[in-house]
Amino acid sequence: MKKNLSILLGAFCCTLAPFVFAEKYQTIDLPKENAKTLKRYGAELYIASKANAYPIPHVLNRLDGNGKIETAQEWNNIARNKILKFYQTQVYGAIPPRPKSLKFELVESSDNALDGKAIRRQYKIISTDKFGTFEFLVLLYIPKNIDGKAPAFVYPNFWGNYSLTDEKEIPLPDFRYSGGKKVKIKEKERGSRDRLPVRDIIARGFATATFAYCDVYPDLVKEDGAKQSIYKIFHKDPKYPECMPFPAWAWGNMRVMDLLQTQPEIDCDKVAVVGHSRLGKTAIITGAYDTRFAYVIANNSGCMGDALSKRKYGENIHAIANVTFLYWLLPQMKKYANNEGELPLDQHHLLATIAPRMLYCASATEDVWADPEGELLGLMHACPAFALFGAKNFPTLDVLEIEKPFHGDVAYHIRKGKHNITPYDWKNFMDYAQKHGWNPKKK
C-alpha cells in the first residue's frame, strides 16, 4: 500500500527533527533520542517497527462485549452515550454547565472593518452562577459581500484576539500566558500571528469568531489553573481533578455558539469548531458533546486528539499525564501510561461520536510528535460509525500523499511543514465546507 520512500533527514538537534519527505509520508525510525529526552520520557518514542503495538478495538463493538452495533439508531441510543460517559469520567472530565445567567455585552463594533469588507463586533460574554460572575472577550467578523446568512468558524486562539489582526480597536490585555507564565504584551505583537487568516476567510464569505483560550482556563502547564478559570463561578473551591482544562476550553466554544445564535447574520446550522494542537483536541471534545456544531476540524491534534494511543509512536499518555501536562487528563488515565493495551477505548471512538456530521483531521509532515499516520488511522477506524448513517467514501493509508487532500464523507490532508495551522490548512477546511453546500452567495 505504501511504498518504501527515501527520506532525507535534516540536522537532528532535538527530538523533533526537521526533514524532507518524498510524495508520501512514511512512519520512520528517527535517530536515537538524546539522553535528555530518554531521561525525561523513559522510552524511545520513534521506533517504526514497534508502532501499532496493540489491536485496535472495532468502533462498533458493544462496550458490554455482546456483539456489534448494527444501526444508526443503536449507535445514537446506546454506543454514543456510553463512549461520551467514558471520556467524561475517565479521560478529560465533565464539561461545566451553561451558567444560570448568560449575557452578551457589545463593547465595540464597526460596519467598515478590514478595509470595508467586514462587520466587526467585540462582545463580552458574561456568565453568572452560584459563586459569582466570569467574563471573556470574543472577536467576531462577518463578511459584507454576501446575500443571506454566513456560515461561521469558531476558533479559540493561543495569544489573544489582538494577535490575529492589526486593527487598533482590538484591545491589548496587560499580559498573556506563555509556557504557563505571564508575559507582558507589547504593541508590536498586534497582528503578529497569522493562524487565523481572517481576510481570506471573509473573502470566501465565511464569518469567524475567536477568543483566547487561556481567558476561560489559564494553561499553567506545571499547575492547574482551575481557581482562575470559569470553574470559580460553579465551585466554591475549584481544584484538580474536579475542574479540568479541556472541558473548560470546550465550554468556551459552546458559549461562543450561544453568542452566534443571537446574531441575525449567522447561519447557525453551518457553524464549525476549529482547533490546532491542544485546541484540536478541544475541538473534538466540543463537537462530541455539542451537536450544534455541524463541522468539527482537528488540526495536528495528536495524542489524546485524533491519534491512536494504542499505536505507541510519538507523544503518548505517559508523556502527557506524568511528564509534560500533568493537569490535562484525569488521574485515572495514569494507569494507562505505558500500558495502552489495557485501554478499553481509543481516540477513534471519540471521533466516531461526531457522526454523521462533517469531520476533518489534518496533519503535517514534520509533526512527528503528533504521529501523522496515527492521526489518519484514528479517523479511518472511526469511519464504520459514519457508515451507519449512509456514508461510503472513506480514506485509506494511501491518502498520506502529501498535499493531496482527501475530501470524501470525512476529510483528511497532510501538508509539508511543522506543527502549525496555516493558510493551506484553512483553504482546505473552507473547500470542504463548500463541497458540502456551505456556499455563501456573493452580492
For 352-408, how does the pLDDT look when each residue is reduced to its tens digit (9 = 90+)?
Answer: 999 999 999 999 999 999 999 999 999 999 999 999 999 999 999 999 999 999 999
This model's pTM is above 0.85: yes
Contact present, 59 and 384 (Cβ < 8 Å): yes
Tens digits of per-residue pLDDT, 114-153? Answer: 999 999 999 999 999 999 999 999 999 999 989 999 999 9
Name the maximum alpha-carbon separation found in the chain: 61
- Written as one string, the DSSP assignment of 73-110 is HHIIIIIHHHHHHHIIIIIS-PPPPPPSEEEEEEEEEE
What number of other Cβ atoms are within 10 A of residue 335's Cβ? 12
Tens digits of per-residue pLDDT, 220-261? Answer: 988 899 999 999 999 999 999 999 999 999 999 999 999 999
Q: Which of 305, 333, 326 has the alpha carbon at shortest distance from 221? A: 326
Q: What pLDDT score was predicted for residue 14?
A: 37
**What percentage of the chain's residues is helix, strand, coil (to nearest 5)?**
35, 25, 45
pLDDT of 17 higher than 60: no
Contact present, 7 and 19 (Cβ < 8 Å): yes
Q: How many Å apart are CA 408 and CA 73, to the nearest integer?
A: 23
Q: How many Å apart are CA 154 and CA 210, to the nearest integer?
A: 6
Average pLDDT over residues 91-114: 98
For residue 365 the three cell numbers come to 509532515
Please identify which residue in the block is written with the cell numbers 455563501: 440
User: For the chain, what is the mean pLDDT?
Assistant: 93
Tens digits of per-residue pLDDT, 306-325? Answer: 999 999 999 999 999 999 99
Which residues are catalytically annotated?
Answer: 277, 419
Q: What pLDDT score was predicted for residue 179?
A: 84
Tens digits of per-residue pLDDT, 141-198? Answer: 999 989 999 999 999 999 999 999 999 999 999 998 888 889 999 999 999 988 999 9
Please identify which residue in the block is written with the cell numbers 481576510: 199
Backbone φ and ψ for 312, nearest 5 degrees, come out as 60, 60
pLDDT of 435 higher than 80: yes
Strand bridging mode 411-415 / 19-20: unpaired
**In Å, how far are 31, 93, 328, 338 from 39, measured between CA atoms?**
16, 30, 22, 15
